[in-house]
């Protein structure tokens, strides 16, 4: 009971390993992966004549 009284929001946050897992995965997914993939998806396709010349055809 005394342990519970000493509990603080910061301690609760640090001790909540499932919340930390969620945040760790989510921040990475949003900031690096999804944002990065969206940028790649928005890239305009390479013009066909340039593509063919690069491929040496």
Name the site residues for another protein (rule: CB under 8 A): 3-4, 7, 10-11, 13-15, 17-18, 20-21, 23-25, 27-28, 31-33, 35-37, 39-40, 43
Q: Minimum Å distance from CB 52 to another protein?
A: 16
Q: Minimum Å distance from CB 56 to another protein?
A: 16
HEC assignment per residue over 10-28: HHHHHHCHHHHHHHHHHHH
Q: Minimum Å distance from CB 46 to another protein?
A: 11
CB 28 within 8 Å of CB 20: no
Dihedral sign for Cα 41, 43, 48, 50, please: negative
């Amino acid at each position: 009971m005394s342990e519970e009284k000493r509990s603080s929001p910061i301690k609760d946050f640090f001790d909540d390993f499932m919340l930390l897992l969620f945040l760790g995965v989510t921040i990475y997914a949003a900031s690096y992966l999804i944002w990065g993939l969206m940028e790649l998806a928005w890239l305009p396709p390479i013009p066909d004549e340039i593509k063919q010349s690069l491929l040496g055809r």
